[in-house]
Amino acid sequence: MKKLLIAIIVIVGIVAVAVAALPFILTGNFAAEKVAAAVKERTGRDLTLRISSFSLFPDIKARVESASLSDVPGSGRPAMLELGPTEIEMGLWPLLLDRTVQVDRLTVDGLRANLLVDAAGRPNWEFTPEGGQAAGDAPQPASEAASQEPLNLPDIQLGDVRLGGVQATYKDEGTGQTVQVADGALVVSMPNLDTPAELDGNAKVNDRALVLKARVESPRALAEQRPTTVQGQLSSDLINANLEAGPEADGRTGGPLSVSVPDLRAMMAWLGMPNAGSLPLRSVNLTGKATLGNGNAQLDGFQLALDDIKANGSASADWSGQIPAATLRVAVAPVDLNRFIPPAASQPASPSASASSSAGWSDEPIDVSALRRMNLDAVIESQGLQFRNIKLGPSRTTLRLQDGILAADAPEVPVLGGRTSTALRIDASRQPAGYALKASSEGIRAEQVLATFAGMDRLLGTVSLNTDLAAAGASQKALVSGLNGTTRIVFRNGALRGINIAAILRDPIAAATGRQQGVAQQTDFAELGATFRLDRGVARTGDLHMLAPLFRMDGEGTVSLPDRRLDFRLNPKATTTLQGQGGQFDRSGLTIPILVTGTFSDPSIQPDFSGLALSAIKDPAKAAEAVRRLKEGGSPADILGGLTGAGGKDGGSSGAPPAAPKAGPLGDVLKGPLEQGVKGLFGR
């Protein structure tokens, strides 16, 4: 028994000595070193902490003279976060006995934050643990992600909590946006997690006052995603947002939400957005019922007004899964998109601009990583859109984004007297990303489409289009070089402005010497079309055709998209029929093939006289007639007119003998009118 008592006395003595020694061991420097080491391990940043006083008994008390957290290692920038004099008092025994965090007093006199997003889009508040990857890039364990359970918080009691002298700077090097916060102050009152918490804050943001007020009936219920009452207001002279939420029957917290921005341009300028004065919108108003709980948030029955643009519907966000998911159902009144289009630059094209347009496709990487960061299910019902002079009728567009694969569908959209359907698919779940496009249209007026999107007014008629294309690549150049699929396009009951192919075929000499000035420079046709098969960016066709009164044309060739080059052989032929569509493709008589080769920006158009010779061989009677007339002293112009189907010695003129062609090779005689007309079709 005596030995037991001695042992107990020894143990008690050791404990007493240890407790007495704690204040000498747990000094401010000791605590600062331990905290700095933990921060370095978890964030990869250096924490400089100066603690002037520290005690454990009877309560935890500490005074911090200053603290600073470094910016991204190697950036050379000042500290990301700095704290001025800070005092904290916490209850020790409540923390040890029942895990209650009892903060009796917390005051911070001066806080400065330097927040920055670099030109590559990397924020400086993303931390990289030592020997690890950025916190934002770390994969979330499947078991953790699958069950985003409510937080199990310890009891927290807040007494006098005050934060003053707040200053912050936010800068986005990519967009140029800068926000300055000064004279910030925050007061928090929360006796414990089961009693109302109140927050009262204010600051000058870019020299304009901003006030925040909030009240939560039960902070514990909110943290555990149980229903409670929440009130909040964010206000300034440029924005006003209010939320009045309470318990809902389904166990969530919900209530009316309203946001009003009377002058969007002024607010964006206030928040440091460059060129805010050029924004096409002036005001924003949003109302709806907001609901929060069970790992998701909803906005039901919302009414959105962007100036005179009206929309209504519902939206939700769910973060309970491995990646967040959003749902949107919205109906939009007719919208005139022209207000969002910047005015076109009214300056003539310079040689440098021409060189730039033909410089090639971009090697700049296309970033589709955002498609892997969330899932989306959206349906947009539009009552109509107007883009420049093109009006689209009512449409229904669906967007499905799941596991990095985006599918966008807009079927049966009325436009320009016809209809069009489009289906786009982007697969960002693989490397490189894959793209697929299926589109069809019928009965659309081609002239308005080409004038709007290509600046071209030389092709008239209605167009039918069917295309099925696919490619994979990490850049524009890679996509164009890997493009595969088919495209069939047919123009009906239209015309080519700027060239009269029938007149050239009837009398090429008159066309070359200017004796067709009274002839309309337009080629009417019943049908013009082709089917292109694309393989690695090269489109090939063997059925290019035109059916028109007094002539027919067929052709074949390739369009190399990677090289931006053309290589076509066109075979126009004069006929004796006025039939267009439905007429027979007459292959009798002589043809002067036309070669269209070169780049998109500078195509070359040349007659192919080897084809003319072959045509003469195929029609020996017409060739023999030409030789006979040459022996009788006929002019070369008259003989050429006979070979090509021109109308005999009259050449289609008013009875006067045809003028001799200008001096130069025979190719130049035909090249002039053809090249002028065809280059006109290319907008040159």
If you write DSSP's letter for every residue of 73-137 in order, what string do you get? TTS-PPPSEEE-SEEEEEEHHHHHHH--EEEEEEEEEEEEEEEEE-TTS-BTT----TTS--TTT
Span of 197-201, 342-346, 552-556, 653-657 with lowest mean pLDDT = 653-657
- Beta-bridge mates of residue 531: 488
Looking only at the bridges linking them, the beta strands covering 156-172 and 86-91 are unpaired
For residue 515, give the amino acid letter: R
Report H helices in 385-457: 446-453
For residue 10, give the H/E element and its range. Answer: helix 2-25
Contact 497, 458 (CB under 8 A): yes
Span 63-69, average pLDDT: 87
Residue pair 404/371 in contact (Cβ under 8 Å)? The answer is: yes
DSSP per position, 159-211: EEEEEEEEEEEEEETTT--EEEEEEEEEEEEESSTTS-EEEEEEEEETTEEEE
**Burial readout 584-598 (b: 16 or more C-beta within 10 A, e: otherwise):** eeeeebbbbbbbbee
Tell me: pLDDT of 214 over 90.
yes
* Mean pLDDT rounded to a whole number for the chain: 78
Model confidence band, residue 90 (pLDDT cutoffs 50, 70, 90)? confident
Tell me the mean pLDDT in the region 49-62: 81
Q: How long is the chain?
A: 684
Supply angle C-alpha 430, 432, 435, rounded to 5.
85
What's the maximum distance between 2 C-alpha atoms anywhere in the chain? 152
pTM: 0.70
State the pLDDT at residue 257: 95
CA angle 210, 216, 217 (to 5 degrees): 150
Q: What is the structure's pLDDT at 629?
A: 53
**Rounded average pLDDT over 541-548:** 92
User: What's the rounded Cα separation, in Å, for the pair 433 and 367?
Assistant: 9
Q: What is the percentage of the chain residues whose pLDDT exceeds 70?
A: 73
Integer Cα distance of 526 and 553 in angstroms: 12
- CA of 120: how far to CAs of 73, 123, 274, in Å? 16, 9, 18
How far is the C-alpha of 348 from the C-alpha of 362, rounded, in Å?
24
Peptide bond into 58 cis (omega under 30): yes
Task: Read off the pLDDT band of 258 (50, 70, 90).
Answer: very high
What is the average per-residue pLDDT within 58-81? 87
Structure tokens at 238: 């440029």
**Rg, C-alpha atoms of the chain:** 39
Q: What is the pLDDT of residue 636?
A: 45
pLDDT of 146 over the 70 cut: no
Among 557, 613, 619, 627, CA closest to 586: 619
Mean of pLDDT values over 472-489: 95
Report helix, strand or coil for 348: coil
First to last CA, the chain: 114
CA–CA dist 641, 652 (Å, integer): 10
* Chain mean position to CA 189: 44
Phi (first) and psi of residue 438, to 5 degrees? -125, 125
Residue 54 confidence (pLDDT) above 50: yes
The answer to whether the CB of 52 falls within 8 A of the CB of 66 is no
Q: 333 Cβ partners below 8 Å, 6+ apart? A: 309, 310, 311, 383
Of the listed ranges 143-152, 228-237, 473-482, 562-571, the least confidently predicted one is 143-152
Nearest C-alpha neighbor of 25 from the set 94, 33, 86:
33
| Domain regions of the chain by residue span | 2-130+151-224, 483-681
Question: Rounded to an integer, what is the distance from CA 297 to the centroid of its chain?
Answer: 25
Helices (H), 418-552: 446-453, 476-481, 501-506, 508-513
Q: What is the mean pLDDT of residues 606-634?
A: 57
Residue 614 has pLDDT above 70, yes or no: no
Cis, bond preceding 342 (omega within 30 deg of 0): no
282 close to 265: Cβ distance less than 8 angstroms: yes
* 579 pLDDT more than 80: no
Model confidence at 131, pLDDT cuts 50, 70, 90, reads: low
CB 167 within 8 A of CB 143: no
The whole-angstrom separation of Cα 267 and Cα 613 is 74
Do 190 and 153 form a contact (C-beta atoms < 8 A)? no
